[in-house]
Each structure stands twice: as structure tokens, then as C-alpha cells.
């Protein structure tokens, strides 16, 4: 793969470790159409690079890994049929599931909504102790749409996942580590080195063995994952057309609390 210093997603390689960095620090690495297009391409390029044996996903800037979808970029929601058709052509998050090489999320600062879904789509999550995690979508009249409803429960268990999902409350890095959302905690200044060290350790192992072991564990723990992803898509398609979803957008623009009516 080649280094890409500019754009919404920056790529580089350090030895056998590819680094893919969300590169919108002024927007706290919020996910817009550029990210949705460039991130899958970067992942596939790294996965196909014979000199790469492990991949780290990170966020640029000091404040956030990723705060999720760029709300400022929201337009009129598509119809349920239109949303389903767009997802049928391929969801950008699918590139994570297709990757055969191990994916490590190096998380600092805010890791919210779609940002947490990116982290969940990785195989291993390392967090700086300043990290904050949340799935706030229901407070905005919507729901996770990039696998959050499917992956979170598989990682931390159904009860804890429903608590996070339905309360929309944030948790700090210590709590995320306690419940198993992240496997390692480090200082913010040590995050990059820790992620690189772990990736190098994995990269030193037999690559086919690593790929097969990853495939066996991921597929063995989620036999109904694809069906769950389809259900998530179908439900979100309906939610995007509700009055509550429109109210959430208006409240955000007007900087006020939303008034939900269940319609």
C-alpha cells in the first residue's frame, strides 16, 4: 500500500504494520461520505498488501478517535426502500468483516456512535485512559446502523449492551476495560507505541495461522451475524422517516432539547 498524507483517511506503514487514520481532526473525525468511500479502500489495500501483516485503525488529532456520523452533513433521509437499496450495494463497514488480517483499534478521546461501531468492527481494541465511549443514537431519534446492535452484545454481553444502547449514556475508559469493551488500557501518550508493539507481535506469527485463527473465532461466535445486520438495516430504514428523527435533526440545528412524540 502507498502512504496517503491527505484526504479524509490517511494511510501509512511502519514495518509490517499498516496504519489507517481517520483524518478529519477539525470535525473530531466525524464520518462523512469521504470517510465512507476512502476507509473501505484503505482497508482493502492494506489487506491485499503482502508486506502488511497487521492493521491499526486510529483517529487524527488530540480529542477524538471518531464521534460518529457528521450530523452537519445530514440531508433529507432516504425512503425505506431507497435506504435498503443503498445498503444492498454494499455497506462501508463490511470492509472490516472482509479483512483477513488482524485489525487493532487504537482509541483515544471520544469514541461515539459510528466511531464505536468502527472500533467494534476491529478484532482488538486498545484505549487511552482518556477515552469515552457511547452509542447516543436513540437520543437522536435513530439507532446504530453500522453493526453496533449486532457487535456490542457479542463483545460485552446482552445486558450491558442494552444498557449502553438504550440509555445512550457514556462510559469512561476504566469502565470500558472492566466490562471487556477494550482489552488494554494505556496512557494517551503511550497509545501509538502500545498499538504498534501489539501489532508487531501479531505480525511476527505465521500469517496463515493468524488469518485462520481469526476467521474461526469470528465466524464461530456469530453464525447469525448477517441476518442481524439485515434486520438492523431494515429497522433503521424505517426510523429515518419518523417524525422523531426529523425533530432530533431540528433540535440539533436549533441547539435545543428534542421533544419526541413516538411518531
Give CA–CA dist 14/19, Å, rounded: 7
Alpha-carbon span 108 to 106, nearest angstrom: 7
The pLDDT tens digits of the residues spanning 39-59 come to 999 999 999 999 999 999 999
Which pLDDT band holds residue 18 (cuts at 50, 70, 90)?
very high
Question: What would the pLDDT profile of 86-133 be if each residue is shown by its tens digit?
Answer: 555 458 999 999 999 999 999 999 999 999 999 999 999 999 999 999
**CATH number for domain 9-188+206-254, candidates 3.90.950.10, 3.40.50.300, 3.90.226.10, 3.40.600.10:** 3.90.226.10
* Contact between residue 18 and residue 43 where contact means Cβ atoms under 8 Å apart: no
Report d(CA 90, CA 146) in Å as an integer. Answer: 11
CA angle, residues 42, 152, 219, in degrees to nearest 5: 70
Domain boundaries, the chain: 9-188+206-254
Reported as a pLDDT band with limits 50, 70 and 90, residue 9 is very high
pLDDT, one tens digit per residue, over 143-162 is 898 999 989 999 999 999 99
What average pLDDT is seen over the chain?
Answer: 88
Looking at the annotation, which residues are catalytic? 117, 137
Q: What is the pLDDT of residue 168?
A: 96
Q: Where are the alpha helices (DSSP H) in the chain?
A: 33-48, 80-88, 94-98, 114-121, 148-156, 158-167, 173-178, 191-203, 207-221, 225-239, 243-254
Amino acid at each position: 500500500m502507498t502512504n496517503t498524507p491527505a484526504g479524509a483517511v490517511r494511510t501509512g506503514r511502519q514495518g509490517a504494520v499498516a496504519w489507517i487514520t481517520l483524518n478529519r481532526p477539525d470535525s473530531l473525525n466525524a464520518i462523512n461520505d469521504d470517510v465512507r468511500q476512502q476507509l473501505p479502500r484503505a482497508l482493502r489495500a492494506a489487506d491485499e498488501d503482502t508486506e502488511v501483516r497487521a492493521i491499526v485503525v486510529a483517529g487524527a488529532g488530540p480529542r477524538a478517535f471518531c464521534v460518529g456520523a457528521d450530523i452537519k452533513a445530514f440531508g433529507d433521509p432516504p425512503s425505506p426502500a431507497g435506504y435498503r437499496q443503498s445498503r444492498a450495494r454494499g455497506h462501508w463497514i463490511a470492509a472490516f468483516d472482509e479483512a483477513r488480517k488482524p485489525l487493532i483499534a487504537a482509541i483515544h478521546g471520544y469514541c461515539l456512535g459510528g466511531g464505536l461501531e468502527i472500533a467494534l468492527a476491529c478484532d482488538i481494541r486498545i484505549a487511552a485512559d482518556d477515552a469515552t465511549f457511547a452509542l447516543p443514537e436513540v437520543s437522536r431519534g435513530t439507532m446504530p446502523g453500522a453493526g453496533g446492535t449486532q457487535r456490542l452484545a457479542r463483545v460485552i454481553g446482552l445486558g450491558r449492551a442494552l444498557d449502553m444502547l438504550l440509555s445512550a449514556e457514556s462510559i469512561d475508559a476504566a469502565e470500558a476495560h472492566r466490562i471487556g469493551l477494550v482489552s488494554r488500557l494505556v496512557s494517551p501518550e503511550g497509545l501509538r507505541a502500545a498499538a504498534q508493539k501489539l501489532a508487531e507481535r501479531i505480525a511476527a506469527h505465521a500469517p496463515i495461522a493468524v488469518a485462520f485463527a481469526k476467521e474461526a473465532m469470528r465466524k464461530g461466535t456469530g453464525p447469525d451475524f448477517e441476518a442481524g445486520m439485515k434486520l438492523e438495516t431494515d429497522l433503521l430504514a424505517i426510523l429515518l422517516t419518523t417524525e422523531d428523527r426529523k425533530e432530533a435533526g431540528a433540535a440539533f440545528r436549533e441547539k435545543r432539547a428534542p421533544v419526541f412524540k413516538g411518531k
